[in-house]
Amino acid sequence: MSSLTEARVSEVRGFNRFYTKVIGALQAGMLDSPYSLTEVRVLFELAQGEFMETGELRGLLDLDAGYLSRLLTRFEADGLVARERSASDARKQLVRLTPAGAEVFAALDRRSAEEIGRLLSGLAEEDQERLVSSMAAIRALLGEGPAREPYVIRPPRTGDLGWVVYRHGVLYGAEYGWGTDFERLVSRIVGDLDFSRDAGWIAEVDGERAGCVFFVRQDETTAKLRMLLVEPSARGLGLGRRLVEECLRHARAEGCKRIVLWTRDCLASARRIYEAAGFELDSEEMGMENGIEVIEQMWSRDL
């Protein structure tokens, strides 16, 4: 083993000891319950469905058959699980949580979420995002693959607005030939944002900015969705849809009755997202951008 590899091994082992200590501090006595970490993990897996075959449970958690049998016997004695033979194969045993078991798990799950919430509350918003992104990277690198939603959506921070203008200029210049006039237009829109009434969201993938959208208040009952953008590297993840959903959710929460947007007919992917979200085309007219003919469109939907 090279000295560099030894150093990396030492660093990973040090992290393992550190994180085990953190989790131990958070979960002293495993959330003040009489159950071990492994036992709570078994309850978690059983809570995900109605029945589970014991062989599947053993393989999922990499448990010794004898140990799992003793563990389930204890749970059965406590009234937390019920076991029965499979109707299709008598050699297989099925196990499920009882109502009492489901209640015990729900209480443990709630306590766990509260403990993690307290841990995160001690960190600044930016550090929370770094922590979550780093954890996602560890899971992906060690084989779990990306989560169902492999991105984070957060409010804008210092430096994000400059990125919004820059990426609009670069992407739309490269993909559609729009020039600096379009970049200046985006810059003016960003400059007019007033976060005492407006709002925005930045999407991150693996800790890097990958998209954005903004809610701009028009009047007491109307809002405008502006500057939806998704980086090419992040397309196909459902990110544009989620950003639009976030904007609509916020508009409803703010009491808006209607939301509008401006786009161009060549932005086909964006238009599909808008249509799926319930927007309808109100009007269109010819326009020019950097000497290129475009069709300007106004869309809207009621909330």
pLDDT tens over the chain, length 303 residues = 677 778 788 888 888 778 777 766 445 455 667 777 788 888 888 887 777 888 888 887 888 888 888 888 988 999 988 888 877 777 788 888 899 888 888 888 888 788 888 888 888 877 787 787 777 778 777 876 554 457 889 999 999 999 999 999 999 999 999 999 999 999 999 999 999 999 999 999 888 899 999 999 999 999 999 999 999 988 888 899 999 999 999 999 999 999 999 999 999 989 999 999 999 999 999 999 999 999 999 999 999
Q: How far apart are CA 137 and CA 237, in angstroms?
A: 16
Those residues whose C-beta lies under 8 Å from the C-beta of residue 253, and which sit 6 or more positions away, are none
Those residues whose C-beta lies under 8 Å from the C-beta of residue 122, and which sit 6 or more positions away, are none
Amino acid at 121: S
For the chain, give every residue range classified as CATH 3.40.630.30: 153-302
For the chain, give every residue range classified as CATH 1.10.10.10: 3-122
Neighbouring CB atoms inside 10 A of 210's CB total: 24
161-189 b/e with 16+ CB inside 10 Å = b? beebbebbbeebeeebebeeebbeebbeb
Q: Kindly give the pairing relationship between strand 81-85 and strand 93-97.
A: antiparallel
Please answer whether residues 216 and 199 qualify as being in contact, where contact means their C-beta atoms are separated by less than 8 angstroms: no
**Topology, domain 3-122:** Arc Repressor Mutant, subunit A (1.10.10)
3-state helix, strand, coil in the chain (%, to 5): 50, 25, 25
**Topology, domain 153-302:** Aminopeptidase (3.40.630)
pTM, entire model: 0.55
Please answer whether residues 188 and 225 qualify as being in contact, where contact means their C-beta atoms are separated by less than 8 angstroms: no
